[in-house]
Structure 1
Amino acid sequence: MNDQTPRKNELPPTKASGNHLYTKLQVHFGGDVQDIVLKSEKEPTCNELGQVLQEVFRIPLAEQLVYFRGQRLHHNNSSAGNRPLTRYGIFSGNTITLVGKRGLL
């Protein structure tokens, strides 16, 4: 392999460290692209994703629309909120799209 060939390093689904799992996601919001990291004791859930998005982007949970691979993630629904992100095929290194209006928190 020559030095000019780019290397692709795939991220593992989640990275365990001690008692925590870290899941890194890339978020597209408007024209911005930002990386976020979810830290949880077990597989991260839709609610945890919504809370981190609320903190980072200042969009209230009720106003968030989250899309992954063109499908809307219904994380505002109480029954769907406790589902792990892996159930939707969302793993570390994936890209999600966030739509919403920033508010005062």
Structure 2
Amino acid sequence: MRSDMRRCLAGDLITAASAIAAADPAAREALAQSLILQADAAHRYAKRLGRAHPLWGNGSLMSRALLLPPAAPVDRQSSAYLRALSLIAQLLAQRKSARAPDFPQP
């Protein structure tokens, strides 16, 4: 069975949401998707080779988001940040649901 991406903790979500909120609104969903896909690829790279990916970090969503160019600090009370937090959580939940095994119904 294929391994899933590294487990996301609160810090991963907060860091990714901050990076997403700082991006152009039209680019936020694409950025969120690419952060997730690249963190997953980096996780597999690190598991296979025993070292962090040279461009995408150690496989955590936080390490991938921190590799983006620095942006101005984001107000964590802003609607942009809260929408970005919701977006990244929703995309991760969809990914998790898509990979959930099908159990037979009793």
- TM-score normalised to structure 2 length: 0.24
More strand by share: 1
TM-score, normalised relative to structure 1: 0.24
